[in-house]
Structure 1
Amino acid sequence: MKQRKRKKLSHHLFEAILAGDALRTKALLRRGASPEGRDTDGTTPLYLASVQGEAETARLLLEAGASPDTESSGPGSEGTPLCAAACWGHTETIRQLLAHSADPHLREDHGAGRSPLEWADNGPHPDAAELLRAAGARPTTHPAP
């Protein structure tokens, strides 16, 4: 696929995710949009879907090959998808990420930041924290930044 077409598909994919349009997301993935492609700031599609609580879109991205543990690096969009979903208490998105093998122990900022459970507890989002604990997440003594 030509670079220009890939860039255009990626742009449309981010628009569809922002709009919460799972059907359009699915169509764009079928046309060749990369589930791992970052925007110009370094934000990943799965991070964007996770922070917005778009569980169906997250599922589509994961089934299309997005890694559940890839950190996003865009300004204001740093971290893992699971941390993003936990921070905002998006339980259905957390379920999708865990079902697709997201690591409930993985700290963001390349291991130096908060864990998903710390984000959920800090929220406070008890339902999100409960899901994470059921997946094996445990509180730690690692200081959050």
Structure 2
Amino acid sequence: MNQRQRKKLSRQLIEAILVGDTARVKAALRAGADPERGDSEGMTPLYAASVGGKPEIARLLLTAGASPDAESSGLGSEGTPLCAASCWGHTETVRELLTHGADPNLHEDHGAGRSPLDWAVRGPHPETVALLITAGAIVPNQCA
């Protein structure tokens, strides 16, 4: 597959994710879209699904090989998928990410930013907070 085809498939994948079209996501992945390739701004497909609260699409991307901890670098969409889903209280998406190995203690901005738990607490999203703690998220000031 040439560079132009890869770009086109990536664009189709991101567009399908943004509108929540699971059938189009499946079709793009079957056609060879890379589940980790970001758009022209650097937003990854899994970040787009996570910030949008699309657990079924997140599951498809993770099953297709997307890394649950890969940071997105798009302007206004930087950070990890788990931080994005936690920030907005998308509990089912958080559950999918954790099930597929997302690190509940991974801070965004390459370790210098907030953790998923920080975002969920700020929400506030108590159901997401509880899920993250159950998954092993470290609660600040309890590490003595």
The answer, yes or no, to whether TM exceeds 0.5 is yes
Q: Which amino acid aligns with 2:80?
A: T
1:12 alignment partner in structure 2 = 12
Query: What pairs up with 1:1-145 in 2 under 5 angstroms?
Result: 1-140=1-140
**Overall identity of the aligned pairs, in %:** 68
Question: Where do 4+ consecutive residues of structure 1 move more than 4 Å?
Answer: none
The Cα shift of 1:139 comes to 1.9
The Cα shift of 1:48 comes to 0.5
Q: Which amino acid aligns with 1:18?
A: L
Q: Which amino acid aligns with 1:72?
A: S
Structure 1 residue matching 2:73: 3-state secondary structure: strand
Q: Which amino acid aligns with 1:134?
A: T
Structure 2 residue matching 1:105: 3-state secondary structure: coil
Structure 1 residue matching 2:78: 3-state secondary structure: strand
- The alignment's C-alpha RMSD in Å is 0.7
TM-score by length of 2: 0.96
The Cα shift of 1:138 comes to 1.7
In the comparison of the two structures, how many residue pairs are matched?
141
Give the Cα–Cα distance (whole angstroms) in 2 for the partners of residues 140 and 30 of structure 1: 43
Deviations 1:11-60 (A, max 9, x none): 10011001101111011101000000011111100000000000000000
Give the Cα–Cα distance (whole angstroms) in 1 for the partners of residues 15 and 9 of structure 2: 10
Question: Which consecutive residues of structure 2, in runs of 5 or more, have no partner in the other structure?
Answer: none
Give the Cα–Cα distance (whole angstroms) in 1 for the partners of residues 92 and 21 of structure 2: 16
